């Protein structure tokens, strides 16, 4: 038996070694180069136009974010060379926006081609003989615009290319170009924003939005509405942004990323307008519709910064686990200090934190909203004082909450009493606040109330138990009574048959 087991063990070991060797011998599939990916995307765009299937174009655009981080001048030049014939006017127009190749690269290409011609027969030419569809040209222009955003020296060049692309796109007027056009408008806005001329692009966006609305181009319309809202909020034009939202209807068929941006902009508008409930709802929708945190960390952080402030303005304290998220932990550190100051009701700590992180709050455009939290901090401090003291002077309130004067303290305490934050009254003649009318959880009145409630619950329980209780063996008594009645009937029948009873026996004295 031991020999058999030894053989089986060695067989298993040999099988594992063979499998490991097979895995080593298997060729590893390398990811495609950016040039190959661009060529495959252009083939998908051509297929989408020929088959009238827009889903292939959407598949190409979904890979745009990852692809634009890998492109450079050489990749774009190679992609244009491989997809356009040599004497193409479109090819020369696209290459004019890219810097010429360095001399070393040109010589390398000449040497390699001459050596290949000398050593091997000429292969069949793989160069295309005609230009691809116009959508492919717009797609390549889109890649070039994003590439020009990588350097400050090319910002003005990207604006020029954006203008030329928009004019060319509008002159073609092809409905199959609508998905790519939505991405073009995003790139146009980014060019103007980086160049510091975002306000100059607003008339162009408004005209394009009207055209897209008339043509029922939902993708372009959703993108342009977000572009306009972003431009208005960039310059703090909240009234114009609110009018745009009220006069337009966001397309229901828009993608989730567009909806996430739209809800985020709505949340910012509603928060500034003091409509915190609607702002909270919109920001929740933005978080739900946004991409994953690691896919779009910047947007995820921006939404949660505003979300935390809106929750504080509503009187709620955000969940502590939110500040432990790996993507949000560092970005929300300053907001976590604000949350702690609001929770403790310390006005001095709140003011210190606000001054410390003022630059970050200004950059995030949440400074004005955070300043509004001062009233919440004061209300929290007054609530703590009302629970700690049955009577406290207005001067002590002024000192503990670091208020400017006793008149301010009286006004703030009176407003808190009117709003129902605390229960008490102000004795103006003596200069103090009395909180004795506030019922706590430890007085005799509370015990009486709890006693009545507990007694009512016990009585209700006893009555319920009695209603469900049945007498023990009650059915046996009924059976015994029925049996006795049957016996009496038998005896009476027997006596009648035997003649023991006379007919007049039961007549009495009559």
Residue 403 lies in a domain: yes
Task: Return the C-alpha torsion angle 383, 388, 390, 396, nearest 10.
Answer: -80
Residue 107 lies in a domain: no
Q: What was the pLDDT predicted at 112?
A: 43
Beta 425-427 vs 391-393: how paired, if at all? unpaired
Q: What was the pLDDT predicted at 282?
A: 93
Tokens of 287: 């978080």
Side-chain-side CA neighbours of residue 86 (13 Å): 3
CATH number of the domain to which 412 belongs: 1.10.10.10
Residue 491 lies in a domain: no
Q: How far is CA 498 from CA 244, 380, 490, 495, 503, in A?
A: 113, 102, 12, 5, 13
Q: What was the pLDDT predicted at 419?
A: 64
Distance (Å, rounded) from C-alpha 188 to C-alpha 75?
22
Q: What was the pLDDT predicted at 494?
A: 76
Residue 396 lies in a domain: yes
* Mean pLDDT per 10-residue segment, the chain (510 residues): 47 55 54 84 87 85 85 86 84 85 60 42 56 86 88 87 88 85 89 86 89 87 92 90 91 88 94 90 92 86 92 86 89 90 82 89 90 82 73 72 68 70 70 61 70 90 80 70 82 70 42
Contact assessment for residue 424 and residue 382, using Cβ atoms and an 8 Å cutoff: no
Q: Last residue of a domain, which of 196, 216, 237?
A: 196
Distance (Å, rounded) from C-alpha 329 to C-alpha 373?
22
CB neighbours of residue 285 within 10 Å: 17
Phi, psi of 295 (to 5 degrees): -75, -45
Distance (Å, rounded) from C-alpha 244 to C-alpha 468?
67
What contacts 457, CB < 8 A, 6 or more positions away? Answer: none
Tokens of 55: 């889903």
CA angle in degrees (0–180, nearest 5) for 247-253-256:
100
Rg of the chain over all Cα atoms, to the nearest angstrom: 42
H or E segment and range at residue 427? strand 425-427
Of 257, 253, 241, nearest in space to 217 by CA: 253
Tokens of 327: 């993507």
Total of domains in the chain: 2
Residue 151 lies in a domain: yes
Domain that holds residue 382: 375-434
Residue 338 lies in a domain: no
Distance (Å, rounded) from C-alpha 279 to C-alpha 228?
19
Residue 8 lies in a domain: no
Distance (Å, rounded) from C-alpha 323 to C-alpha 151?
34
Q: Last residue of a domain, which of 150, 172, 196?
A: 196
Q: Last residue of a domain, which of 394, 414, 434?
A: 434
Phi, psi of 433 (to 5 degrees): -115, 130
Residue 505: helix, strand or coil by DSSP? Answer: helix
Q: What was the pLDDT predicted at 241?
A: 92
Sign of CA dihedral 37, 43, 45, 51: negative
CB neighbours of residue 6 within 10 Å: 10
Distance (Å, rounded) from C-alpha 318 to C-alpha 339?
8
Residue 167 lies in a domain: yes
């Amino acid at each position: 038996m031991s020999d058999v087991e030894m053989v089986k063990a060695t067989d298993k070991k040999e099988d594992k070694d063979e499998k490991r060797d097979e895995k080593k011998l298997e060729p590893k599939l390398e990811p495609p180069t950016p040039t190959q990916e661009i060529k495959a995307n252009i083939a998908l765009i051509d297929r989408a136009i020929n088959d009238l299937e827009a889903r292939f174009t959407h598949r190409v655009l979904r890979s745009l974010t990852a692809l634009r981080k890998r492109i450079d001048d050489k990749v774009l030049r190679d992609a244009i060379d491989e997809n356009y014939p040599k004497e193409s006017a479109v090819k020369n127009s696209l290459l004019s926006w890219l810097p010429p190749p360095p001399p070393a690269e040109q010589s390398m290409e000449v040497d390699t081609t001459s050596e290949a011609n000398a050593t091997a027969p000429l292969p069949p030419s793989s160069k295309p003989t005609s230009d691809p569809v116009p959508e492919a040209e717009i797609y390549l222009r889109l890649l070039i615009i994003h590439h020009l955003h990588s350097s400050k020296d090319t910002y003005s060049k990207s604006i020029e290319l954006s203008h030329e692309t928009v004019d060319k796109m509008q002159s073609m007027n092809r409905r199959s170009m609508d998905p790519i056009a939505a991405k073009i408008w995003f790139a146009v806005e980014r060019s103007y924003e980086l160049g510091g001329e975002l306000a100059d692009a607003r008339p162009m966006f408004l005209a394009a939005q009207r055209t897209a609305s008339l043509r029922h181009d939902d993708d372009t319309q959703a993108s342009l509405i977000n572009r306009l809202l972003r431009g208005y909020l960039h310059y703090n034009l909240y009234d114009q942004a609110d009018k745009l939202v009220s006069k337009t209807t966001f397309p229901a068929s828009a993608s989730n990323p567009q909806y996430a941006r739209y809800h985020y902009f709505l949340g910012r508008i509603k928060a500034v307008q003091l409509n915190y409930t609607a702002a909270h709802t919109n920001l929740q929708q933005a978080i739900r519709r946004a991409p994953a945190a690691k896919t779009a960390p910047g947007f995820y952080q921006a939404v949660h910064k505003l979300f935390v402030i809106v929750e504080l303005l509503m009187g709620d304290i955000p969940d502590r686990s939110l500040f432990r998220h790996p993507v949000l932990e560092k970005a929300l550190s300053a907001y976590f200090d604000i949350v702690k100051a609001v929770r403790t009701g310390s006005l001095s700590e709140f003011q210190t934190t606000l001054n410390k992180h003022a630059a970050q709050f200004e950059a995030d455009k949440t400074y004005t909203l955070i300043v509004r939290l001062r009233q919440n901090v004061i209300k929290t401090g007054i609530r703590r004082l009302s629970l700690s003291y049955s009577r406290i002077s207005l001067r002590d309130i002024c000192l503990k909450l670091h208020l400017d004067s006793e008149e301010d303290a009286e006004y703030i305490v009176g407003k808190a009493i009117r709003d129902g934050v605390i229960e008490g009254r102000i004795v103006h003649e003596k200069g103090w606040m009395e909180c004795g009318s506030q019922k706590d959880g430890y007085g005799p009145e509370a015990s009486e109330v709890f006693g009545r409630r507990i007694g009512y619950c016990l009585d209700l329980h006893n009555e319920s138990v009695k209603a469900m209780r049945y007498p023990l063996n009650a059915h046996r008594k009924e059976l015994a009574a029925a049996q006795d009645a049957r016996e009496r009937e038998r005896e009476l029948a027997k006596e009648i048959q035997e003649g023991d009873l006379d007919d007049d026996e039961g007549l009495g004295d009559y």
